[in-house]
Amino acid sequence: MTTPPFQRARRPEHKEQRRQDILGAAATLGRRDGVRLVTLTGIAAEAGVHKSAVLRYFASREAVFLLLTADGWQDWATTVEEALHGPVDLQEVAALLAATLAEHPLFCDLLAHAQLNLERGVGKEQVRDFKVTTLDAVDRIARALTTTLPWMSRGQAVDVIGGATAMAAQQWQTSNPPETLACLYAEDPLLAHAASEFAPRLTRLVTLLLAGASATAAPNEA
């Protein structure tokens, strides 16, 4: 738990610091315990403030985590843009997308919760802000993909991004099971395949996505 240098944020810079402290606390707990188990009370305790102080900045835990999801989209877009440079083949792009997602574990966890409950727990304006931020990130990644793979259309790139993040959301939960499931996988060889490593499995799945996109590319694009 962190201790803030001031009891009540009154100056603008103190308010922004308090806001960032709350987001940082939520991110720390999300990475450590998994997003599903993090409560608003827990976030407040980690940030060193009372729950009422958190509610002055964020209407709910969903509001905190949806903002972190938006930040995750932008961070992933930046990582992909920096990693995709020079000529690479389809398999290398698949490995790169999987590896960059693996570098953002909290984002992968958040992807599973965003549409299921985070978007449903905030107001219309925050949902709109989230969608706009996400669309900007998707556009950035799509440009990087179509530059690297000239045969790929923008529509195909958007589909690949959607498929890759959907599979990352599901595969992250499978690859990081709660203790009960982890014990079950360890004890029962029939179920052990479910606990596959995240990046290698995601690489194989994204490779299939890209191969399908390549096979359906227009003749003048392939």
pLDDT tens sequence for the chain (222 residues) = 555 554 555 667 778 999 999 999 999 999 999 999 999 999 999 999 999 999 999 999 999 999 999 999 999 999 999 999 877 899 999 999 999 999 999 999 999 999 999 999 999 999 999 999 999 999 999 999 999 999 999 999 999 999 999 999 999 998 888 888 878 888 887 777 666 789 999 999 999 999 999 999 876 554
For position 210, what pLDDT does the model report?
97
Question: What is the sign, positive or negative, of the torsion defined by CA atoms of 201, 202, 203, 207?
Answer: positive
Is the distance from CB of 202 to CB of 101 less than 8 angstroms? yes
User: Any residues with CB less than 8 A from the CB of 180 and at least 6 apart, and which?
Assistant: none
The CA distance from 50 to 53, in Å, is: 5
- Cβ neighbors of 81 (< 8 A, separation 6 or more) are 140, 141, 144
pLDDT of residue 11: 62
* Per-residue tokens: 120: 């449903």
pTM for the whole thing? 0.89
